[in-house]
Amino acid sequence: MPSLRAAFSRLVLAGALHAKLAGSTAVESHTHQRLRASDDAFNGLSAQQPRQGSFTQQPRQGSSSRKTEGNGFGNVIVGLLLWWIAPVLLWNNERIAIKQYKMQLKAESHAVHIDDPERPPIPELNGRIVYISGTSTCTENISEGHFKNVKAEGKLKLRRQVEMYQWVEHEKEVGEGDNKRTECTYTQEWCDCEIKISGDSSKQNPPMPMSSTQRQPRGYRAAQDLCAGNGIDCAAAEHENVKLGAYYFNEYVIREMNNWKNKEDVTAEMLISGAPGGSWFFGGKGNAAPALDGEWWYFGGKGNAEIGSIRVKFEELLPGPISIVGVLTHTETGWTFVPIIRPDAAGAGDSLRAEMDCSCCMHVEELHYGDESTEDELKERLAQRPSELSTSEVKTFGRSNTTANVSSYSSEPDLDDLCCVGPFGGVLMKVMTWFGIEEEFLGVRESHMSLPKLIKGEKADAANRHHIMRAAGLLLLLMGSYMIIDPIVRILNAHWLITLFGGGLVSIVLCCCACCCSFAGCITIVSTAWIAHRPFLASFGLVLVVCMTLGAYIFFQEQHAKSSSPTYGAFLVAFQSTFEQLHH
């Protein structure tokens, strides 16, 4: 491969060739015509254009060139911002990954197994990590907000989904240059929210008679928000009526449940007699009895949809088999579960065996609650273990009707160890939390499973989310690196002659160096974040970065030595002399 110095030498020779050829008037005219033809062919322009266009193209080319340069320097600023944001993203991701790992390992080794969910817990279990598995139940009957006769017996939630047949506007850019314009096309579709039409006044949609309801309030996690739907919150049972034996489910547990099923026992009589104003509630579209087609109930006749027609369906959140690991606490309503928020390992996650993934070798006595004969022994063992809740937190929960009223119990981001938070730290943390990078741990699985299997599933889900964030951070670093070198790459490829005489080669080398810097930066940030907790694995990453840096340094030194050799110098002298002879 030619060296970098050789590539730059060719760039200089290409510039000299172009300058000397431009000195002669005859050569100038001939070269200008050939370069003009080459530019047209390279940019895919037409070979034949009007004469007045050739006069007005020069200002356009200059304007385009100025715009390109402006975009290049703008890319540098964006690239620097990305190199500011990506380290914060990677550092926080690894910090939370460490915290999650320690909380999960602590839950697996220190959880008290509740063998009999029907037996009320003893006060000594308040503030302890517990594991429980059984079948949840709901003793409340709930009815739908608008269709009063649509009821759910023994279900946690009842959601209504309403869609109206509407005009939908689609905008599309057509034409090029000064002839570019926006064209609107219209289709008729079922939509669960009212669509506004701005382009054609004859295609305005009527107002929706009612809105859908959503499974849960938005903002908790992206995966749940995508399936939550639109509208207000759906009908839900009271927390004290949703139980697993002697324990009730609060908002922390219910928001993790996802056993939604379509409601299949709805009849046309329920919809007609239960709707406000009967079938006339739907603006004249409900003259015909509601008809069932698949999972939807159509008002206005099956298969005769027109603008303004309505269809509805219902779904329920069902109780059933469930396994939970979390902190047990007591409120005025009863015993319930809250997340683990403290990452202190309590002897469970800061050792060589934990780093080498040998958690099976870390033996902690497994405690069980359920047999009265071992209750005194259990109390003695619990006295030797730290509690997850402070005395003030236990008292605060005890005075509250539900855990939702205790806002003080939350996981605050530990940003003391960050050296590059910047103005985007708070916003970035909110986005990461929304994507599931949480600073708390509450394991909930809607099936009967053992504690090790539950923890294994939670670890796998958390690891996938952290891997996605690592990939996103690396991608941001790569994009930032390319944007920083973008103006140089543009200059090196401003003309095909410059690209041919070494500009392309130098661009490739710069892009490769940018990629290497991005990978090295990503590995350095991740390894530095882990070095206090997993020194062996972190040291391996840092050694890898050092080897990459030394390898690049040795490579460039060898290339520099080759380019400085007498043979190469003689070649350049011979090439320049030959060029001068040909020119004269």
498-508 average pLDDT score: 87
Q: Do 142 and 73 belong together in one domain?
A: no
Lowest model confidence (mean pLDDT) among 13-17, 300-304, 413-417, 508-512: 13-17
Q: Do 283 and 193 belong together in one domain?
A: yes
439-464 average pLDDT score: 94
Q: How confident is the model at residue 223 (pLDDT cuts 50, 70, 90)?
A: confident
Residue 565 pLDDT: 55
Residue 547 pLDDT: 87
Given a contact cutoff of 8 angstroms between Cβ atoms, the answer to whether 258 and 446 are in contact is yes
Residue 570 pLDDT: 52
Task: State how far the Cα of 480 lies from the Cα of 484, in Å rounded to an integer.
Answer: 6
Q: Do 178 and 302 belong together in one domain?
A: yes
Q: Do 68 and 178 belong together in one domain?
A: no
Given a contact cutoff of 8 angstroms between Cβ atoms, the answer to whether 422 and 84 are in contact is yes
Please say if the pLDDT value at position 60 is more than 80. Answer: no
Q: Residue 152: which of 263, 268, 311 has the closest Cα?
A: 263
Q: Do 196 and 270 belong together in one domain?
A: yes
Residue 133 pLDDT: 96
Residue 298 lies in a domain: yes
Please say if the pLDDT value at position 308 is more than 50. Answer: yes
Residue 541 pLDDT: 82
- Which domain does 566 fall in, by range? 4-40+56-86+469-583
Residue 288 pLDDT: 61
Task: State how far the Cα of 548 lies from the Cα of 562, in Å rounded to an integer.
Answer: 21
Residue in the block written with tokens 């309403």: 162
Q: Of the residues 265, 300, 317, which one is the last residue of a structural domain?
A: 317
What φ, ψ does residue 112 adopt, rounded to 5°? -85, 125
Please say if the pLDDT value at position 183 is more than 60. Answer: yes
Among 326-335, 394-403, 421-430, the range of highest mean pLDDT:
326-335
Residue 570 lies in a domain: yes
Tell me whether strands 296-299 and 291-293 are parallel, antiparallel or unpaired. Answer: antiparallel
Interior/surface letters 474-485, b for 16+ CB within 10 angstroms, e for the rest: bebbbbbbbbbb
- Helix, strand or coil for residue 124? helix
- Averaged confidence pLDDT in the chain: 79
Interior/surface letters 61-91, b for 16+ CB within 10 angstroms, e for the rest: eeeeeeeeeeebeebbebbeebbbbbbbbbb
Residue 439 lies in a domain: no
Please say if the pLDDT value at position 432 is more than 60. Answer: yes
Q: Which residue has the higher pLDDT, 501 or 523?
A: 523
Please say if the pLDDT value at position 434 is more than 60. Answer: yes
Percent of the chain topping pLDDT 90: 39
Please say if the pLDDT value at position 409 is more than 50. Answer: yes
Residue 257 lies in a domain: yes
168-189 average pLDDT score: 86
Q: Which residues pair with 315 in a beta bridge?
A: 159, 262
Q: Which contiguous run of DSSP H or E holds residue 372?
A: none
- β strands within 13-122, DSSP E: 112-114
Q: Which residue has the higher pLDDT, 234 or 17?
A: 234
Q: Do 313 and 194 belong together in one domain?
A: yes
Residue 67 lies in a domain: yes
Residue 346 pLDDT: 52
64-75 average pLDDT score: 56
Residue 563 lies in a domain: yes
254-260 average pLDDT score: 94
Q: Do 153 and 295 belong together in one domain?
A: yes
Residue 537 pLDDT: 76
Residue 545 lies in a domain: yes
Given a contact cutoff of 8 angstroms between Cβ atoms, the answer to whether 209 and 282 are in contact is yes
Residue 155 pLDDT: 95
Given a contact cutoff of 8 angstroms between Cβ atoms, the answer to whether 527 and 538 are in contact is yes
DSSP letter at 44? T
Q: Residue 367: which of 134, 128, 102 has the closest Cα?
A: 128
Residue in the block written with tokens 């997993």: 534
DSSP output for 198-218 = -S-GGGPPPPPSS--EESS-T
Residues 6+ apart with CB under 8 A from 343: 98, 99, 102, 103
Residue in the block written with tokens 């939670």: 458
DSSP letter at 184? E
529-554 tens-digit pLDDT:
888 767 777 788 888 888 888 887 78
286-313 average pLDDT score: 80
Q: Do 61 and 206 belong together in one domain?
A: no
Report the largest interatomic distance among the alpha carbons of the chain, rounded to a whole angstrom: 110
Q: Do 154 and 64 belong together in one domain?
A: no
Count CB neighbours of 369 within 10 A: 22
324-360 tens-digit pLDDT:
999 999 999 999 999 999 877 554 445 445 455 555 5
Given a contact cutoff of 8 angstroms between Cβ atoms, the answer to whether 105 and 123 are in contact is no
- Helix, strand or coil for residue 74? helix
Please say if the pLDDT value at position 525 is more than 60. Answer: yes
Q: Do 172 and 296 belong together in one domain?
A: yes
Count of domains for the chain: 2
Q: How confident is the model at residue 477 (pLDDT cuts 50, 70, 90)?
A: very high
366-377 tens-digit pLDDT:
899 988 888 889
DSSP output for 483-549 = HHHHHHHHHHTSSHHHIIIIIHHHHHHHHHHHHHHHHHHHHHHHHHHHTTT-HHHHHHHHHHHHHHH
C-alpha triplet 393, 395, 396: angle, nearest 5°: 60
9-58 tens-digit pLDDT:
444 444 444 444 344 444 344 444 443 444 444 344 333 333 333 333 33
Q: Do 66 and 164 belong together in one domain?
A: no
Q: Of the residues 251, 286, 317, which one is the last residue of a structural domain?
A: 317
Q: Of the residues 317, 335, 362, which one is the last residue of a structural domain?
A: 317
Residue 149 lies in a domain: yes
72-85 average pLDDT score: 88
Q: Do 205 and 309 belong together in one domain?
A: yes
Task: State how far the Cα of 247 lies from the Cα of 395, in Å rounded to an integer.
Answer: 19
